Amino acid sequence: MARSKAFHEKGRPSRLTPRTARHLKRLTTGTNRANANVITQKLNDSLTQCFSSRTRIAWCKKFQSYTIEDWRRVIFSDESTYYVFKRKNKMMVSRAKSEKLAPDCVQQLTTGDGGKVGIWGAMCEYGKTSAFVYSDNMDSTKYCEVLKNYLIPSIKRLPKEKKYIYQCDLAPWHTSNMVKDQIKKLKINMLEWPPNSSDMNVVEEL
Protein backbone atom coordinates (compact mmCIF):
# COMPACT_ATOMS: atom_id res chain seq x y z
CA MET A 1 0.00 0.00 0.00
CA ALA A 2 2.78 2.42 0.93
CA ARG A 3 4.56 1.68 -2.34
CA SER A 4 1.38 2.27 -4.34
CA LYS A 5 0.71 5.57 -2.56
CA ALA A 6 4.24 6.79 -3.24
CA PHE A 7 3.88 5.86 -6.92
CA HIS A 8 0.69 7.91 -7.31
CA GLU A 9 2.25 10.94 -5.60
CA LYS A 10 5.01 11.19 -8.20
CA GLY A 11 4.95 13.83 -10.90
CA ARG A 12 4.70 17.60 -10.95
CA PRO A 13 2.22 18.93 -8.40
CA SER A 14 -0.79 20.80 -9.73
CA ARG A 15 -0.43 24.58 -9.97
CA LEU A 16 -4.13 24.95 -9.23
CA THR A 17 -5.20 25.11 -5.63
CA PRO A 18 -8.66 23.72 -4.79
CA ARG A 19 -9.93 27.30 -4.55
CA THR A 20 -8.48 28.24 -7.94
CA ALA A 21 -9.90 25.08 -9.49
CA ARG A 22 -13.37 26.00 -8.23
CA HIS A 23 -13.00 29.50 -9.68
CA LEU A 24 -11.86 28.04 -13.01
CA LYS A 25 -14.96 25.86 -13.09
CA ARG A 26 -17.16 28.92 -12.53
CA LEU A 27 -15.40 30.76 -15.37
CA THR A 28 -15.94 27.92 -17.86
CA THR A 29 -19.48 26.96 -16.91
CA GLY A 30 -21.96 28.32 -19.45
CA THR A 31 -19.22 29.85 -21.64
CA ASN A 32 -18.32 26.93 -23.90
CA ARG A 33 -16.95 29.14 -26.66
CA ALA A 34 -14.57 31.21 -24.55
CA ASN A 35 -11.05 30.52 -25.81
CA ALA A 36 -8.13 29.60 -23.59
CA ASN A 37 -6.63 33.10 -23.77
CA VAL A 38 -9.84 34.71 -22.50
CA ILE A 39 -10.20 32.19 -19.67
CA THR A 40 -6.54 32.56 -18.71
CA GLN A 41 -6.87 36.36 -18.66
CA LYS A 42 -9.94 36.22 -16.41
CA LEU A 43 -8.26 33.72 -14.11
CA ASN A 44 -5.10 35.83 -13.89
CA ASP A 45 -7.19 38.94 -13.26
CA SER A 46 -8.79 37.28 -10.26
CA LEU A 47 -5.43 36.10 -8.92
CA THR A 48 -3.91 39.58 -9.23
CA GLN A 49 -6.96 41.39 -7.88
CA CYS A 50 -5.20 42.48 -4.70
CA PHE A 51 -2.25 43.90 -6.66
CA SER A 52 -4.57 45.66 -9.11
CA SER A 53 -6.61 47.09 -6.25
CA ARG A 54 -3.52 48.60 -4.66
CA THR A 55 -2.44 50.05 -8.01
CA ARG A 56 -5.86 51.56 -8.64
CA ILE A 57 -6.05 53.06 -5.16
CA ALA A 58 -2.64 54.67 -5.72
CA TRP A 59 -3.87 56.00 -9.07
CA CYS A 60 -7.02 57.45 -7.48
CA LYS A 61 -4.97 59.20 -4.80
CA LYS A 62 -2.69 60.65 -7.46
CA PHE A 63 -5.60 62.13 -9.43
CA GLN A 64 -7.92 63.00 -6.55
CA SER A 65 -7.19 66.69 -7.12
CA TYR A 66 -8.68 66.53 -10.64
CA THR A 67 -11.79 68.70 -10.91
CA ILE A 68 -14.93 67.94 -12.91
CA GLU A 69 -13.63 70.29 -15.59
CA ASP A 70 -10.34 68.35 -15.73
CA TRP A 71 -12.20 65.09 -16.37
CA ARG A 72 -14.32 66.76 -19.03
CA ARG A 73 -11.12 67.39 -20.98
CA VAL A 74 -10.09 63.71 -20.92
CA ILE A 75 -10.58 61.96 -24.27
CA PHE A 76 -11.38 58.31 -23.50
CA SER A 77 -10.60 55.80 -26.26
CA ASP A 78 -10.96 52.11 -27.01
CA GLU A 79 -10.96 49.53 -29.80
CA SER A 80 -13.37 46.66 -30.36
CA THR A 81 -13.37 43.74 -32.79
CA TYR A 82 -16.53 42.14 -34.16
CA TYR A 83 -16.66 38.76 -35.92
CA VAL A 84 -19.24 37.75 -38.53
CA PHE A 85 -18.34 34.12 -37.86
CA LYS A 86 -15.30 32.68 -36.20
CA ARG A 87 -12.94 31.01 -38.64
CA LYS A 88 -14.18 27.52 -39.40
CA ASN A 89 -12.20 24.64 -37.92
CA LYS A 90 -10.63 27.12 -35.47
CA MET A 91 -13.32 27.15 -32.80
CA MET A 92 -12.50 25.22 -29.62
CA VAL A 93 -15.34 24.28 -27.29
CA SER A 94 -15.11 23.24 -23.64
CA ARG A 95 -18.00 20.96 -22.72
CA ALA A 96 -19.16 18.05 -20.63
CA LYS A 97 -19.86 14.68 -22.28
CA SER A 98 -23.59 15.29 -22.02
CA GLU A 99 -23.30 18.59 -23.96
CA LYS A 100 -22.02 17.07 -27.22
CA LEU A 101 -24.93 18.35 -29.34
CA ALA A 102 -25.94 21.32 -27.22
CA PRO A 103 -26.60 24.40 -29.44
CA ASP A 104 -23.83 26.37 -27.75
CA CYS A 105 -21.35 23.58 -28.52
CA VAL A 106 -22.09 23.33 -32.26
CA GLN A 107 -20.16 25.57 -34.66
CA GLN A 108 -21.89 27.28 -37.58
CA LEU A 109 -19.90 27.11 -40.81
CA THR A 110 -19.63 29.33 -43.85
CA THR A 111 -18.22 28.48 -47.27
CA GLY A 112 -15.44 30.98 -46.62
CA ASP A 113 -14.07 33.09 -43.82
CA GLY A 114 -16.87 35.07 -42.19
CA GLY A 115 -14.47 37.95 -41.60
CA LYS A 116 -14.11 40.50 -38.85
CA VAL A 117 -14.07 44.24 -38.46
CA GLY A 118 -12.35 46.39 -35.85
CA ILE A 119 -13.24 49.92 -34.82
CA TRP A 120 -11.40 52.59 -32.85
CA GLY A 121 -13.10 55.63 -31.41
CA ALA A 122 -12.82 58.17 -28.62
CA MET A 123 -14.99 60.73 -26.84
CA CYS A 124 -14.96 63.43 -24.20
CA GLU A 125 -17.43 65.92 -22.72
CA TYR A 126 -16.98 68.27 -25.69
CA GLY A 127 -17.35 65.84 -28.57
CA LYS A 128 -16.21 62.64 -30.22
CA THR A 129 -13.57 61.60 -32.72
CA SER A 130 -14.05 60.17 -36.16
CA ALA A 131 -14.25 56.37 -36.11
CA PHE A 132 -11.41 54.35 -37.59
CA VAL A 133 -12.61 51.06 -39.08
CA TYR A 134 -10.10 48.34 -39.97
CA SER A 135 -10.12 44.68 -41.01
CA ASP A 136 -6.56 43.67 -40.08
CA ASN A 137 -5.23 43.22 -36.57
CA MET A 138 -4.36 46.40 -34.72
CA ASP A 139 -0.62 46.96 -34.26
CA SER A 140 1.81 49.78 -33.51
CA THR A 141 2.02 50.99 -37.11
CA LYS A 142 -1.74 51.14 -37.49
CA TYR A 143 -2.15 52.83 -34.11
CA CYS A 144 0.35 55.53 -35.09
CA GLU A 145 -1.87 56.14 -38.13
CA VAL A 146 -4.89 56.43 -35.83
CA LEU A 147 -3.18 59.05 -33.67
CA LYS A 148 -1.99 61.14 -36.61
CA ASN A 149 -4.94 60.88 -39.01
CA TYR A 150 -7.91 60.48 -36.68
CA LEU A 151 -7.16 61.67 -33.14
CA ILE A 152 -5.32 64.92 -33.95
CA PRO A 153 -7.79 66.13 -36.64
CA SER A 154 -10.66 65.33 -34.28
CA ILE A 155 -9.07 67.30 -31.45
CA LYS A 156 -8.70 70.29 -33.77
CA ARG A 157 -12.46 70.29 -34.28
CA LEU A 158 -13.12 70.51 -30.53
CA PRO A 159 -13.25 73.84 -28.62
CA LYS A 160 -9.80 75.37 -28.99
CA GLU A 161 -9.40 76.81 -25.49
CA LYS A 162 -9.29 73.38 -23.83
CA LYS A 163 -6.10 71.48 -23.10
CA TYR A 164 -7.15 67.91 -23.88
CA ILE A 165 -5.74 64.78 -22.29
CA TYR A 166 -5.78 61.45 -24.12
CA GLN A 167 -6.53 58.15 -22.42
CA CYS A 168 -5.80 54.65 -23.70
CA ASP A 169 -5.31 51.33 -21.94
CA LEU A 170 -2.09 49.32 -21.68
CA ALA A 171 -2.52 47.18 -24.80
CA PRO A 172 0.90 46.24 -26.28
CA TRP A 173 0.46 48.48 -29.34
CA HIS A 174 -0.38 51.43 -27.07
CA THR A 175 2.85 51.13 -25.09
CA SER A 176 5.37 50.26 -27.82
CA ASN A 177 8.38 52.50 -28.43
CA MET A 178 7.07 53.36 -31.90
CA VAL A 179 3.81 54.67 -30.45
CA LYS A 180 5.60 56.50 -27.63
CA ASP A 181 7.72 58.31 -30.23
CA GLN A 182 4.60 59.20 -32.21
CA ILE A 183 2.89 60.55 -29.08
CA LYS A 184 5.92 62.71 -28.36
CA LYS A 185 6.11 63.90 -31.97
CA LEU A 186 2.42 64.85 -32.05
CA LYS A 187 2.65 66.46 -28.58
CA ILE A 188 -0.28 64.49 -27.19
CA ASN A 189 -0.95 64.94 -23.47
CA MET A 190 -1.44 61.45 -22.02
CA LEU A 191 -3.38 60.34 -18.97
CA GLU A 192 -1.60 57.75 -16.86
CA TRP A 193 -3.82 54.65 -16.73
CA PRO A 194 -3.79 51.70 -14.28
CA PRO A 195 -3.86 48.10 -15.58
CA ASN A 196 -7.07 46.06 -15.75
CA SER A 197 -9.25 49.15 -15.42
CA SER A 198 -11.59 49.00 -18.40
CA ASP A 199 -14.52 49.52 -16.01
CA MET A 200 -13.33 53.10 -15.45
CA ASN A 201 -13.38 53.91 -19.17
CA VAL A 202 -16.61 55.68 -20.14
CA VAL A 203 -16.31 54.36 -23.72
CA GLU A 204 -17.05 50.87 -22.36
CA GLU A 205 -20.61 52.02 -21.66
CA LEU A 206 -21.33 52.69 -25.35
- What per-residue confidence (pLDDT) applies to 106? 65
- What pLDDT is attached to residue 7? 47
> Using an 8 Å Cβ cutoff, are 77 and 121 in contact?
yes
Query: Which has the higher per-residue pLDDT, 12 or 181?
Result: 181
Residue 44, pLDDT above cutoff 80: no
Strands 74-83 and 165-167: parallel
188: closest CA among 157, 159, 161, 153?
153
Could you give phi then psi for residue 109, rounded to 5 degrees? -120, 150
> Which residues have a Cβ under 8 Å from the Cβ of 206 and sit 6 or more positions away?
123
The b-or-e profile of 123-161 (16+ CB within 10 A means b, else e) is: bbeeeebeebebeeebebebbbebbeebbeebbeebeee
Distance between CA atoms of residues 145 and 157, nearest Å:
18
Answer for the pair 160, 127: CB distance below 8 angstroms, yes or no.
Answer: no
CATH numbers and ranges of domains, the chain: 65-205 (3.30.420.10)
Q: How confident is the model at residue 56 (pLDDT cuts 50, 70, 90)?
A: confident
pTM to 2 decimals?
0.66
User: Directed axis angle between helix 18-28 and helix 36-47, to 10°?
Assistant: 130
CB–CB of 171/151 below 8 Å? no
Cβ atoms of 150 and 166 closer than 8 Å = no
The residues, any chain, with a CB within 8 Å of residue 202's CB and separated by 6 or more, are: 76, 123
* Mean pLDDT, all residues of the chain: 81
pLDDT tens per residue, range 88-128: 456 666 667 777 666 666 666 655 556 789 999 999 999 99
